[in-house]
């Protein structure tokens, strides 16, 4: 697939998607979001992809938001279309059957925060900064930020950050549970790969099921407990479940086939 505002690299089943507009702080314009959308078609369809890392190019920004220059003159109708499109793509990332980590290498603001927030996990370098400065621009987050901010760090602190537009650093984000680890910039991608390799060694079927059930916990339309019952029982008819339990009982390493 040909991209111009992102790059992709597949290595050892991990697809690294790098946002590549460093001169604009990796701001997310429509074309760039479309390329991420297309890259995720590949994630869903290609069995060679087992996991994904999303990161930004350069050492300053993961993504400093939606492209303000692009949307500044949008009508309400255009804004609605923009927001609905962003929601669709970020929900697609969150619902990805394969684990997705945001490797946050600098500013994750506005749409950049929202992109990091829809990933399953976040790992940050020490220079990372998180925030939703939209209210400063007279707008609210439009790519799921109001929901996922509260979901990740709770109502009290979340609504403060949404309303004040304050930024938090990597340490604070770690303390609040928004990021799983803080590393040096050099260690950022290796740390993400280490986590993902652990996950890839499991059955892809159960990882897909864990993601679906965990996401249902926060869904307002789906009962996560009921879904968990269904998905749990579905495991019992797979070869991978038989392989996993047999390997444990026979003290050997499981060889999962995704069947």
Active site residues: 114, 134
117 near 145, Cβ under 8 Å? Answer: yes
Please state the closest distance from residue 140 (CB atom) to ligand COA, in A.
9
Looking at the Cβ atoms of 107 and 130, the one nearer to ligand COA is: 107
Looking at the Cβ atoms of 89 and 206, the one nearer to ligand COA is: 89
Looking at the Cβ atoms of 17 and 25, the one nearer to ligand COA is: 25
Please state the closest distance from residue 138 (CB atom) to ligand COA, in A.
10
CA distance 92 to 40: 8
3-state secondary structure the chain: CCCCCEEEEEECCEEEEEECCHHHCCCECHHHHHHHHHHHHHHHHCCCCCEEEEEECCCCEEECCECHHHHCCCCHHHHHHHHHHHHHHHHHHHCCCCCEEEEECCEEECHHHHHHHHCCEEEEECCCEEECHHHHHCCCCCCCHHHHHHHHHCHHHHHHHHHHCCCEEHHHHHHCCCCCEEECCCCHHHHHHHHHHHHHCCCHHHHHHHHHHHHHHHCCCCCHHHHHHHHHHHHCCCHHHHHHHHHHHCCCCCCCCCC
Looking at the Cβ atoms of 185 and 216, the one nearer to ligand COA is: 185
Please state the closest distance from residue 160 (CB atom) to ligand COA, in A.
17
Please state the closest distance from residue 26 (CB atom) to ligand COA, in A.
8
Buried b (16+ CB within 10 A) or exposed e, 95-123: ebebbbbbbbbbbbbbbbbbbbbbbbbbb
Please state the closest distance from residue 177 (CB atom) to ligand COA, in A.
23
Closest CA to 6 of 44, 65, 54: 54
Q: Which residues bind ligand COA (CB under 6 A)?
A: 24-25, 27, 64-69, 107, 109-111, 133-134, 137
Looking at the Cβ atoms of 143 and 256, the one nearer to ligand COA is: 143
Please state the closest distance from residue 33 (CB atom) to ligand COA, in A.
13
Looking at the Cβ atoms of 22 and 224, the one nearer to ligand COA is: 22
């Amino acid at each position: 697939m040909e991209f111009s505002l992102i790059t992709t690299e597949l290595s050892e089943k991990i697809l690294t998607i790098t946002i590549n507009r460093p001169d604009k702080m990796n701001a997310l314009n429509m074309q760039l979001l479309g390329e991420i959308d297309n890259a995720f078609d590949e994630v869903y369809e290609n069995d060679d992809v087992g996991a994904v890392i999303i990161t930004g190019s350069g050492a300053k920004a993961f993504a400093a938001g939606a492209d303000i220059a692009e949307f500044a003159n949008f009508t309400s109708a255009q804004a609605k279309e923009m927001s609905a499109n962003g929601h669709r793509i970020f929900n697609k990332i969150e619902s990805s059957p394969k684990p997705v980590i945001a490797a946050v290498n600098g500013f994750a603001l506005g749409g950049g925060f929202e992109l990091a927030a829809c990933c399953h996990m976040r790992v940050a370098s020490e220079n990372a900064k998180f925030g939703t400065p939209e209210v400063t621009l007279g707008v609210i987050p439009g790519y799921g930020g109001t929901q996922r901010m509260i979901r990740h760090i709770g109502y009290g602190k979340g609504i403060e950050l949404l309303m004040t537009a304050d930024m938090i650093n990597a340490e604070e984000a770690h303390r609040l549970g928004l990021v799983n680890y803080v590393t040096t910039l050099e260690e950022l991608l290796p740390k993400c790969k280490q986590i993902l390799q652990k996950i890839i060694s499991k059955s892809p079927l159960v990882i897909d099921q864990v993601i679906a059930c965990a996401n249902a916990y926060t869904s307002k339309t789906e009962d996560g407990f009921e879904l968990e019952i269904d998905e749990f029982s579905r495991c019992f008819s797979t070869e991978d479940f038989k392989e996993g339990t047999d390997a444990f009982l026979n003290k050997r390493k499981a060889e999962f086939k995704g069947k």
